Structure 1
Amino acid sequence: MKCENCQLFKLTREFPDGTISLTCRHITSWCLECLVGYLKEAHHQCPMCQTELSEQDVVKFNLFWEKANFKINLESFSQTHDKHSGPTDETSGNIYVVLLNGEKITLSFSEDKTVKDLKDDLYDEKKIAITQQMLIYNDIELDNYDNTLKSYGINANSYIQLIVVLYSIPKDLALTNLNFDLSWEFPNSGCDYLDGTCMMFEGDKFWRKYDYISMNYPDIKEIWHCGDEMKYNEAKGKHRISARLDKLPNAVCQLYFILSSWRSPTIGLFKNIEFKLYDPANQGINLCEYTIQRAADSQAVILCLVNRSRNGMWKVIPVEETTNGNAKNYSPIKEKIKSFSLFNTIL
């Protein structure tokens, strides 16, 4: 998409977690570089429709630009655009594969390159198993290995989304439970709780949560949270969430598994944290492997998404996003989830 200010093809949508939630949607027709420059000049209005922007909107864009690890070298990008402003050769060059965390992988493109060739290249580059690669272009999954990229409308300079799928649960599998086990030891400062929570969404609407308070609901008895199981004499506790995926309403397509600290300011103050997401029929596989030290300075971490696909499959997708919020106040966690590029997406 062209920026309406500078007329260059600089997409505002290539953020690590999707577009920012804004007061005014017209603003996404400007590229991020132009928009941040405009806002830094003390303008607090949308450059398109003059809608007043909140201070929070302005801060969001500035922070995104300052901290973004996905930024393109815009000067080089502009030169490339100018160089190819006339007729271009779309049969060779580079394509760009973008992960959910914003990392961009540059790979060579040719018009006879197949989906399998691309997945092989990604394996060579990132060592991501081919069976765990889900490639999306224009909201369509590249699921036919023998098809060329060009048959999907992909040309040189195209951007493709890569989603790493840790595990797929077939529709016809007689799944007893999907279990999430969590255990921890108290911080040095005294008794505290590390909360395991599952948040479920119907499309873009929050459906319900399962945590130490909302342990079960009368309409679906096959989904439950065990509550706090504490051994105070040993300074430790544990949680378990168990879910029968086949008992969920059809409209519920996304389950997010979250860890958060109750009293302590950060998760890193807890000792010997262990967690595992698994299918009881195959307990040897942890579906959500994450190095918890990466979230040590955060109040909460959204570990993974269990996502229902169009074909009825359930896919476990790593999220691994830190955030504020906890079981006393889930609002920051909900807002973080709604900012994800995969939120309300049926793959």
Structure 2
Amino acid sequence: MKCSKCRLKRLSKEFPLKAVSHLCKHIPTWCLECVITYLEDKAQSNNIVRPGCPECNVILTQKEIDYLTSFWKRASFKLDIPVFSREEVIEVANETGEFYVVLLNGQKYTFRLEEIRSVRALKIALMNKTAIESRKQKLIFKGVELNQGDKSIVNYGIHAGCHIQLVVILYSITKEVSVANLVFDLYWGYPITGRDYLDGTCLIYAGMSLWKKYDYSTKSYPEINYIKHSGDIMNDTNRRGHHRITIKLNQLPKEVSTLYFVLSAYNCPNIGHFVSPSFQLYDENSPQEQLCNYSIQTAANSQAVIGVTLQDRLKAYGKLLKLVFYPMGMPKIIVPLTEEF
């Protein structure tokens, strides 16, 4: 769930268990930390009136305020590793109980803290259960990647009941590869219902803000001559469609941080209705050297997916690429590519 106040994704247990006041007519959308911060700020002000619900302004009773404060003090998810003493870390390391690893499709695997001590051990256990190689596993907990193999998982703040996100890296290009003029070619066959479009879109972000969007309707911008979208290239005779996006990476503004290539079904319920959908990724200067040539199978049941994410390489002209499939509507986690995995 995302807190409507701090805008951070939180576990459901990080929200109040019930409405802040018995008079509230809404479900809580502020996380407990934001609610407590709000109440503390009100308590420190000179206003003698009891504070209200931060979302609907219903006045809280002292009993409701005391309940929220007590619940916050007893919350099990408040774990701040940097402020632990040496003795506290040792105590946490002896934790027991179940924790979970969740894939983006919602599939969940259960492990025990007393059996899985290190990040490396967790990756090996996941490989045994899922057949996903450890080097293709990206483990994320509260936005932090578990990338130190020998480090204890509890030292990342993981305890009983925690959920770790597993992102599967299907394809990666190492730092030895340099890309200047990137080409993303998307192909698809018409579904049995007839002509339809598997849209290829490029979303370009500067930090957290959308900088430009390129798709079938916005193929170019007058002031930008180094990025183009082909629009719909349809072959009704052979029942094939094609989208082509070209980007001169070394001409992108410095503030650009991330590129997303998104695939989405136009009329069909999901991507699986298209015949043999696939894409190619290559440097226009060396088209014979495919950076990636992939048939889209894992995304068949999704209406839209983020197919390729480019990040961090923008500091060095295309040296880092990674390919991950994200069903739209699921969490989309950006993970810097490391040489370690």
TM-score by length of 2: 0.62
In structure 2, what is the equivalent of residue 342 of structure 1?
333
Choose 305-314 or 140-149, whichever is displaced more: 305-314
The alignment status of 1:159 with 2:163, answered yes or no, reads: yes
The alignment status of 1:304 with 2:307, answered yes or no, reads: yes
CA distance, structure 2, for counterparts of residue 229 and residue 109 of structure 1: 53
In structure 2, what is the equivalent of residue 72 of structure 1?
none
In structure 1, what is the equivalent of residue 235 of structure 2?
231
The alignment status of 1:283 with 2:284, answered yes or no, reads: no
Q: Which amino acid aligns with 2:25?
A: H
In structure 2, what is the equivalent of residue 134 of structure 1?
138
- Cα-to-partner distance string for 1:63-120 (whole Å, 9 max, x where unaligned): xxxxxxxxxxxxxxx9xxxxxxxxx875153332233334332223249822221111
In structure 2, what is the equivalent of residue 333 of structure 1?
none
CA distance, structure 2, for counterparts of residue 133 and residue 26 of structure 1: 24
Which residue, out of 303, 311, 320, partners 1:314?
320
Task: Give unmatched runs, 5+ long, in structure 2.
Answer: 30-34, 36-52, 58-75, 77-90
In structure 2, what is the equivalent of residue 272 of structure 1?
275
In structure 2, what is the equivalent of residue 44 of structure 1?
26
Q: Percent identity?
A: 32
Q: Which amino acid aligns with 2:201?
A: T
Q: Which amino acid aligns with 1:143?
A: N
Q: Sort the Cα spacing of 1:111 and 1:250 in 2 relative to 1 into closer, same or farther, 3 A.
A: farther
Q: Sort the Cα spacing of 1:169 and 1:198 in 2 relative to 1 into closer, same or farther, 3 A.
A: same
Choose 177-186 or 24-33, whichever is displaced more: 24-33
Count residues in correspondence: 275
CA distance, structure 2, for counterparts of residue 237 and residue 302 of structure 1: 18
* Correspondences of 1:75-224 after superposition (within 5 Å): 91-93=94-96, 94-110=98-114, 113-171=117-175, 173-187=177-191, 190-217=194-221, 221-224=225-228
Give how far 1:124 is off: 0.7
C-alpha contact 1:180 1:275 (8 A) present in aligned 2: no
Q: Sort the Cα spacing of 1:253 and 1:230 in 2 relative to 1 into closer, same or farther, 3 A.
A: same
CA distance, structure 1, for counterparts of residue 122 and residue 314 of structure 2: 24
Q: Which amino acid aligns with 2:235?
A: K
CA distance, structure 1, for counterparts of residue 11 and residue 147 of structure 2: 31
Q: Sort the Cα spacing of 1:285 and 1:22 in 2 relative to 1 into closer, same or farther, 3 A.
A: same
Secondary structure of the residue aligned to 1:294 is: coil
Considering only aligned residues, what root-mean-square deviation do their CA atoms show, in Å? 4.3
Query: Which structure's CA Rg is the greater one?
Result: 2
CA distance, structure 1, for counterparts of residue 308 and residue 279 of structure 2: 14
CA distance, structure 2, for counterparts of residue 27 and residue 128 of structure 1: 26
Q: Sort the Cα spacing of 1:276 and 1:161 in 2 relative to 1 into closer, same or farther, 3 A.
A: same
CA distance, structure 2, for counterparts of residue 24 and residue 284 of structure 1: 39
CA distance, structure 2, for counterparts of residue 290 and residue 129 of structure 1: 19
In structure 2, what is the equivalent of residue 70 of structure 1?
none
Q: Sort the Cα spacing of 1:291 and 1:342 in 2 relative to 1 into closer, same or farther, 3 A.
A: closer
Q: Sort the Cα spacing of 1:265 and 1:171 in 2 relative to 1 into closer, same or farther, 3 A.
A: same
Secondary structure of the residue aligned to 1:252 is: coil
Secondary structure of the residue aligned to 1:101 is: coil
